[in-house]
Structure 1
């Protein structure tokens, strides 16, 4: 058979797809919509690498940290910048105070001129938020006049909240951390961080798990309208085509739907690309320009989808006998064989087995074995499910009329029922495996902060030299604040910190009233003017060794504009105190000092730490505390305490999984609804006939529900078994103990069932319209 004959037959099938009048167009349209949803998600997937790269490049281009200890001198091309990030109702706000020191000061990306003192330029999303009702607390915190905007090149996402505000006197606060002097933006010497093998493994499995259900749905979508197609094929045999030609014509029809699906999918993607620029999902937003698919990957999608449509159709018709008087799938269908279906998951396990116990310390996982093993296990579900549904429904017996109608329908077309469930089963299995893996390695990327949330819920870091007494008063009178523990902190050395090797001995200096000092140490007695040396500290034991009356100690200071170095002479009569766990979860070392014993020179050098206890029943209590902190000093850093802290990369990956899972669930729901409507449309005359013979509509509705519930129940059971198996193997590969989180497994299964239930409920109105006797009318 030459390629010309293939081309003629495929072209004939292509014509038949659109030459059947309204019926043909509806059939092709349903196929195209189903394929289109899948193509849109595939195109989105091909665009994700570019989106992630673009976000990373934008973040790198606007970096404003110092990467060395050398501070450039003030010049006409330098800028002093302070980080003043904040949070407003769980939304991160990126803030910077800027003070250009000359006309050639570098401009950050997206900003065409610097704002003056009391002015700011803002991102479009922040401008909208500030103008919204209910943002009065944020407007109070940012009392600057808006004089411009930040362009796209300066923002990593369309919904990012960011601003640059003009300031003066920032050089007095330079500390190599939050306030620095720059000659340019961006990291001049970027270094590539060594990838974590476990995170790489998670990345690979997430990508495969999210794309596999899409591929399954596309394969199912090209087979919409199977019954009606079979009758058309029988007519072709009647007019003289042979069986091979008939199959090629059928493949041509599928090809037509797939190509139309490519067009619709591209349209869906372009619309979604624009919509993506105005939405934020789980804190992540992008610019439409980020979502440009890789040309090579987009070409692969354009070639793979039509090719898959042809191959799937030819494969599906291999066991079908098409004769001039009808299509025979066999009066007594041959039972599906199990042995070869088991080979797929077994082969998948065999590919993953060599990496068992590899963990983080034995190099990277073999990407090809990981992808191949996970794919074969998930594809195994699509092979095993038809056998499972056929075997199970073949053993179902007597029941009510609705039950018997449903069971008989499933016995006659178990393959169609399994195809509808395949995608949801694959998605649930992948979700269970991933949740097991995330839950298993969560402890490796989550650490206890040690912060005692019973003693404080927020911490406010104040710049050096902030007067403590009036500051404490302001926080004490803030709405919702119960208690404020104020401590000033610095570091002492036995020699100048400017020496080449630094001090030989060093210790912390903590200043506070007696009540505050009792939060960090067990004091024998305390009165204003006392000084104590701590024993039992967590990090250093140098304090007692430095406690020599008359000894001169040097305070560490990052920024000494006056050129003087602050010293302190150890007095006689220093008491001894025992260190205890402070509210932040550490045992301090060094010296404790009450305000009466603190020289005025030290007061200008130490930085304040406030531990704030709040009444969390007060609405927006955290916002009130942040506003007070901003009023005290814009450079203060309020921070909400949490019991645990999660790795940023791990948390980002988990967020990406949730966003991707949401997109896949939307695809699942849409594709299932299209498939369900197609099934109902094909059975319109049968439903009308049953109603005409007196069958109650409630009975028919229940039969449709049973036809959905039985396959989905079997599919979820199979998905749970495969998902738990895959999850256990992945945990062993990461050298993590295998623990099955049964509530999570149940939650994933319920999520899949909920999608199917929602689709079934949405299909009830069309079902009721189809159950009318006039559906038997024909011409």
Structure 2
């Protein structure tokens, strides 16, 4: 039996290959529709290899720092991370200083030697930016360094990463420099927040499910012309089972050719993937390799689905020598079985709800979302059939479109099913993404007139700290600033922890005007001291029993140098009487709790190590004000830091997910549009004779063009209505799983608008084929 089935499938393949120009055209359209889907599936299958390759490179360049007390070898070097920003983009780097012979020192991948002081290795993207007109302001930050080389691809996360290595001789002058014994760290176990995992899983399902629908739709192209061939086969003596398997063989050829087309399109797209500015430095074409197991599944499942879908489509088709009839055409489609799949999917997601997403199994989420979205698609043909059956009257173009849909709404519903899934999934996804994005924001309570930048530097005295603050206050783009001095002092008499570190207390020294911006108090005069901080219940910081609380009578060591600096003899300072104070609403990125003292109440000049912190408000009238301040600060000084604050400080992971979502959505919508064009052209080919007859009887071309528009628009509008309702419902279920509130009820508006715009674009793209098929030679027959 297996041999007979293979022989009949092969016979169908032979018919497809020997069908002349119409057969080849139909097969090429099928291959193009399948190929577009296969291309996107193959691109998606590269995600695991891209992620692994990126993690391997990031791990290979990560410095392995020596533990405290560990002896440095002859190949060790000093290293310090250096981060700066430029117009919202992070520029990362590493300061390097060899301890011994630079030639013998370990080096990160991508460079051939350790740069000496003032030498700079940059990534290709950073080199191009520094040389461009847009990067002239950033180039001022690197003016004192000379570029001596370019970092190789093995030392970068991606082709667009902005990364550098800067040689310096200042690290050895730091109190506690960090020595590096080697480069290379295992980052394979780096975890991710379960809510982010759920978000990414939903993104993958939502973006790839429409592609699967389009593949299944493409393998059913040419249904009406296929019916005529099947009748001829029955006339020649074939039974029903044989005709179905021959039809499946025809679909199999289109699917196999579609695999080849999809692989070619993938190879072409792979060549340009490095040009797309994706998160984390983009993706290198060399990394864009399909995961073997996923690629093998695509190669096996696409042809298998082509055969199974054809057999399924013909299960209720009676093929006779006189024609083809379909069971149940008069009574219409049944509804009850179409409700089972979405009901089960909704039940799975509802069981996972109640804010327990962190413990939910990703496979259960995938199953629930898949079944729910697929169930919505199964409802579409039934709803389209019910709606179009009630459409009456209207202009001639409207009547031509509605009558065509009433005769056979299946192809139109199948064509629209992909966009219905895409829009429904995108609405749910956008609701989830908006809620996760909102929850990920760290509201600082800042306004435009408050702090946007915080600069900090190690100083030796209050006078040096004052000079540092005055220099920043006079920098271009600074509207105002205030400064504080901070120190971490060891607690005298406290037992060291298991690692030998002594317990420390944080002290902030500032005048009353500066303290007023950080804490609240009834009155302040020079010589006062405050302890500030309160939890959510209003309990004072001093009453909570926190191990880091400073109390009157505590003794703090003014020799606050860290181990290894040579300072050993303690010089205790007794904490004076303190007043209770409260913290301000905004915390400028840090928790300002603990001991706050005015200058005369604390012997600042006796400290061994102190940091001057300047809190900066930018002038909104100065373009690139933040960049001017960064240029004033410069790079290369490990003891000096500058970081930007924002009322909405999104995490890097969230920003990356958002960028990837937008890029993938653009690609998916492009494939949706292309597939709809191919499907519309195939439907027009099946109606070539009818179109020619209508033209011969005097029907205007504009009327026929408008009928194509209505024939596309009616199912799409119905599908968008279904997608909106189902997408909002699915979004609510996903938010319930994540335990998040709804933050975006209008997420469907731009998506529905994009769907309607696609109707117009598909119609315009199919008009040339329509004009060609309305020629008189379409009346010819054999």
**TM-score over 0.5 for the pair:** yes
* Cα distance in 2 for residues equivalent to 1:495 and 1:264: 75
- C-alpha distance in 1 between matches for 2:776 and 2:310: 34
Deviation track 1:295-341 (CA, whole Å, cap 9, x = no partner) reads 22211111100010011111112233333344334796441111111
User: How is 1:220-299 mapped onto 2 (pairs within 5 angstroms)?
Assistant: 220-281=217-278, 285-299=282-296
Q: In the aligned structure 1, how far is the partner of 2:238 from the partner of 2:430? A: 52
Distance of 2:549 and 2:428 partners within structure 1: 52
Partner of 1:100: 98
Q: Could you say which residue in structure 2 is the equivalent of 1:726?
A: 730
| Change over 3 Å in CA distance of 1:165–1:536 after alignment to 2 | closer
Corresponding residue to 1:414 among 385, 388, 409: 409
1:537 matched to 2:542? The reply is no
Is residue 759 from structure 1 mapped to residue 752 from structure 2 by the alignment? Answer: no
Q: How does 1:690-701 map to 2 (within 5 A)?
A: 690-701=694-705
**Whole-Å Cα distance in 1 between the matches of residues 496 and 134 of structure 2?**
53
Shift of 1:110: 2.1
- Residue of structure 2 equivalent to 1:149: 150
Name whichever of 220-229 and 650-659 sits farther off: 650-659
TM-score, with structure 1 as normaliser: 0.89
Q: CA offsets per residue over residues 183-220 of structure 1, 9 Å max, x none?
A: 112337x6946665444433433332222111111000
Q: RMSD over aligned Cα, in angstroms?
A: 3.3
- 1:393 is the counterpart of 2:388: yes
- Give the drift of 1:11: 1.5
Secondary structure of the residue aligned to 2:668 is helix
Structure 2: 5+ residue stretches without partners: 536-540, 543-547
* 1:320 paired residue number: 317
Q: For structure 1, which segment, 473-482 or 510-519, has the greater mean C-alpha deviation from structure 2 after superposition? A: 510-519
Aligned partner of residue 179 in structure 2, secondary structure: strand
| Residues 593 and 358 of structure 1, relative CA distance in 2, 3 Å threshold | closer
Distance 1:204 1:400, change over 3 A: same
Q: Does the 8 Å contact 1:401/1:699 carry over to 2?
A: yes
Inter-CA distance 418–522: structure 2 relative to 1 (3 Å threshold): closer
Quote the residue 1:182 is aligned against: 180
Match status 1:509 vs 2:515: no
2: CA distance between counterparts of 1:778 and 1:312?
30
Aligned to 1:42: 41
Which residue matches 1:744?
A: 747
Provide the rounded CA distance (Å) in 2 between the counterparts of 1:203 and 1:380. Answer: 22
Asked if residue 590 in structure 1 is aligned to residue 595 in structure 2, the reply is yes
Q: What's the secondary structure of 1:644's corresponding residue?
A: coil
Residue from 303, 306, 319 that aligns with 2:303: 306
Cα 1:349–1:588 change in 2 (3 A) is: closer
SS in 2 for 1:619: coil
Deviates more, 1:286-295 or 1:232-241: 232-241
Distance 2:743 2:653 in 1: 24
Equivalent positions of 1:70-89 (< 5 A) are: 70=68, 72-89=70-87
Residue among 619, 622, 628 paired with 2:623: 619
In 2, Cα distance between equivalents of 1:93 and 1:588: 31
The DSSP-based 3-state class of the residue aligned with 1:77 is coil
The change in CA–CA distance for 1:654 and 1:537 in structure 2 (over 3 A counts) is same
Distance, in Å, in 2 between the alignment partners of 1:70 and 1:32 is 63
Contact 1:490-1:555 at 8 Å conserved across structures:
no
The 1:516–1:761 alpha-carbon spacing in structure 2 relative to 1, beyond 3 Å, is farther
Match of 1:206 in 2: 203
Alpha-carbon separation, structure 1, partners of 2:269 and 2:188: 35
SS in 2 for 1:421: helix
Q: For residues 36-91 of structure 1, give each alpha carbon's deviation from its aligned partner in whole angstroms, at most 9, with x where no partner exists.
A: 1111122222221222222222222222364x851544542211111111122222
The whole-number CA distance in structure 1 between the counterparts of 2:501 and 2:138 is 44
**Contact 2:530 2:596 (8 Å CA) reproduced:** yes
1:674 Cα deviation after fit: 1.6
Unpaired stretches in structure 1, ≥5 consecutive residues:
none
Q: CA deviation at 1:605?
A: 1.8
Query: Helix, strand or coil for the counterpart of 1:489?
Result: strand
SS at match of 1:743: coil
SS at match of 2:95: strand
Match of 1:664 among 648, 663, 668: 668
Q: Which residue of 2 aligns with 1:434?
A: 429
Could you list the runs of 4 or more consecutive aligned residues of structure 1 that deviate by over 6 angstroms after TM superposition?
501-505, 523-527
Q: After superposition, what is the alpha-carbon deviation per residue over 1:596-654, rounded to whole angstroms, capped at 9, x for unaligned?
A: 9755453x621122211112343222211111111694653322211133454455445
Rate the CA distance shift 1:773–1:482 in 2: closer, same or farther, 3 A.
Answer: farther
Alpha-carbon separation, structure 1, partners of 2:600 and 2:236: 104
Query: Would you say the 8 A contact 1:82–1:635 is kept in 2?
Result: no
Separation in 2 of the partners of 1:294 and 1:661?
Answer: 22
Contact 1:521 1:577 in 2 (8 A): no
- State the partner residue of 1:339: 336
> In the alignment, does 2:442 pair up with 1:447?
yes
SS in 2 for 1:247: helix
Counterpart for residue 475 of structure 1: 472
Q: 1:574-596 CA deviation, whole Å, 9 max, x = no partner?
A: 88684552863555431324399
Deviations 1:417-460 (A, max 9, x none): 10110111111222222233334455554433355553222222
**132-141 vs 316-325, which moves further:** 316-325
Q: Matched residues in 1 for 2:638 and 2:739: separation?
A: 47
> CA–CA distance in 2 between the matches of 1:292 and 1:552?
59
1:676 aligns with 2:680: yes
User: Cα deviation per residue 1:524-582 (whole Å; 9 max; x = unaligned)?
Assistant: 8888xx4431143348538873468xx6633544476454678574699x886845528
Which of 487, 495, 502 aligns to 2:484? It is: 487
Map Cα deviations across residues 695-735 of structure 1 (whole Å, 9 max, x no partner): 33332222211111110111112222322333333333344
Judge which range, 389-398 or 464-473, deviates more. 464-473
* 2:521 aligned with 1:520: no
- 2:489 and 2:505 in contact (8 A); partners too: yes
SS at match of 2:713: helix
SS of aligned partner of 1:102: coil
Deviations 1:83-119 (A, max 9, x none): 1111222222111111111233221122221111111
CA distance in 2, matches of 1:735, 1:578: 35
Alignment of 1:5 with 2:4, yes or no, is yes
Query: In the alignment, does 2:117 pair up with 1:121?
Result: no
- TM-score computed with the length of structure 2 as normaliser: 0.89
> Does 2:418 match 1:423?
yes
CA contact (8 A) 1:51 1:291 kept: yes
Aligned match for 1:375, one of 357, 370, 379: 370
Is the Cα contact below 8 Å between 1:583 and 1:611 reproduced in 2?
A: no
2:538: which partner in 1? none
